[in-house]
Amino acid sequence: MDHHLERVYETVVARNPVEPEFHQAVHEVIESLGKVITSRPEYGDYAVLERLVEPERQIMFRVPWVDDKGQVRVNRGFRVEFNSALGPYKGGLRFHPSVNLGIIKFLGFEQVFKNALTGQQIGGGKGGSDFNPHGKSDGEVMRFCQSFMTELYRHIGPNTDVPAGDIGVGGREIGYLFGQYKRITNRFDAGVLTGKSLGWGGSLARPEATGYGTVRFAQSMLENKGESLEGKSVLVSGSGNVAIYAIERAQSLGAKVVSISDSSGAVYDPDGIDLELLKDIKEVRRGRVSDYVSRRRSADFRSGKKVWAIEEGEVALPCATQNEITSHDARKLANNGVQLVAEGANMPSTPEAIDIYNTAGIMYAPGKAANAGGVATSALEMQQNSARQQWTFEKTADKLDEIMINIHDTCLQAAEEMGEPGDYVLGANVASFRLVADAMVEQGIC
């Protein structure tokens, strides 16, 4: 990393203390940009990088609500509107006890580059709360969402900032949030939130999009090497929306998915994951992966363990959360013969893990490229809302595939231009940065 980039990074660390995930995300991007910054002096003249690492707006607010026992509870809400050079801020809302400002900033920063790669003219942002919807009644979740939106509504809009779901925020939460927005503003702005139910503005293929897109990206990586997913064993972490639909798409392409997980532990099923059983447990009963084992004789539950120690697997799709693959886990993947890692979650691999992938010759696709299908389909939902249309599943899924193939090819081309063929991290960072930086230069100092 050259001196200019080092100074930018040191400033980020000094101005944003105790935010390690944000520091990690910034470092991972800017260490790729040396040649780009050197070749384009206007980026330095316009302080593009210095402006890019500073969010345009950071909003933090109190969220009071009343639980079913009549007790007043207080959580903290966030919305970080990071960069709008390419379009309105776009990014999910995460409801989870781990949420803090640093987590939201890391996610928002990643979102800027991910959204740029989609070519959908959307900027980057992220939001959420340390509220935990798990174990709460529908009434409690509704009252929390109404309180959260009572503040958030003034900062969002179809042409300003368009939130969506993320961990802890699904169709139920989006419905409650939209209802409160409509109630306060007296407007049915369908495009103000994405991830809506189909009956009032949602898009077919949106629930499937992140998982489907991740697998499509992995398939493109293999096709570039003259291979495919057919016949390969796949390790998937997580058991939420992204994991479920990554499993569905991988199985449709002839792969055998042998694992799932949640915070309680990992499941290994050598016969292949029973997708319908998993959907029943997670989407209908809101259960745990241990429930899967109680109903599936071939499966083995490993309490407190990760899926990465499972010895069967040629492809790894981390679909749970950030930094879930450490250097220790990455060594196990390498030793067990994993050929490819494509990230369905946001930044699930630590920097040390990525170094091991590179040393071991494992093909690696970062989340900003591999999991961009979710936000890409959210942008397709916005298009449908603007036209007051609803496309067929097939039309939306075909557009998603086209976008993911374009992202893959764009990353490969940029890496080739930088003299590092096959480096998807470098390619994704360089290609997305150029798009955002050029727009920032053209729009002046703002």
Sign of CA dihedral 134, 104, 120, 405: negative
Number of helical H runs and strand E runs in the chain: 18, 13
| Residue whose pair of structure tokens reads 């697998």 in the numeric block | 215
- Tell me the C-alpha distance between 90 and 83, whole Å: 9
3-state class of 73 per DSSP?
A: strand
Residue type, 69: K
Instruction: Report the candidate in 255, 222, 244 with the shortest Cα–Cα distance to residue 362.
Output: 222
111 is an annotated ligand-binding site residue = yes
Strand order in the sheet with 300-303: 259-262, 265-268, 300-303
Strand order in the sheet with 57-66: 57-66, 72-83, 124-129, 89-95, 161-165
- Tell me the C-alpha distance between 355 and 307, whole Å: 20
- Tell me the C-alpha distance between 196 and 188, whole Å: 13
241 is an annotated ligand-binding site residue = yes
339 is an annotated ligand-binding site residue = no
- Entry field: residues in the chain: 446
358 is an annotated ligand-binding site residue = no
Instruction: Report the candidate in 372, 347, 358, 371 with the shortest Cα–Cα distance to residue 422.
Output: 358
State the alpha helices, DSSP H only, in 16-119: 20-30, 34-39, 41-45, 48-52, 101-118
- Tell me the C-alpha distance between 234 and 224, whole Å: 19
**CB 365 within 8 Å of CB 341:** yes
378 is an annotated ligand-binding site residue = yes
Q: Residue 235 corresponds to which tokens in the numbers above?
A: 């390790």
135 is an annotated ligand-binding site residue = no
Q: Which of 69, 105, 126, 332 is catalytic?
A: 126
178-183: list long-range contacts, CB under 8 Å, 24+ apart: 179/146, 180/145, 180/146, 180/149, 180/150, 180/153, 181/149, 181/153, 181/156
214 is an annotated ligand-binding site residue = no
Instruction: Report the candidate in 175, 163, 172 with the shortest Cα–Cα distance to residue 200.
Output: 175
Query: Is residue 126 annotated as a catalytic residue, yes or no?
Result: yes
What string of DSSP letters covers 397-414?
HHHHHHHHHHHHHHHHHH
| Residue whose pair of structure tokens reads 């539950």 in the numeric block | 301
Report the b/e string of 205-228 with b at 16+ CB within 10 A.
Answer: bbbbbbbbbbbbbbbbbbeeeeee
Positions at the binding site = 90, 111, 114, 165, 210, 241, 378
Positions at the binding site for substrate = 90, 111, 114, 165, 378
Catalytic center residues? 126
Positions at the binding site for NAD(+) = 210, 241
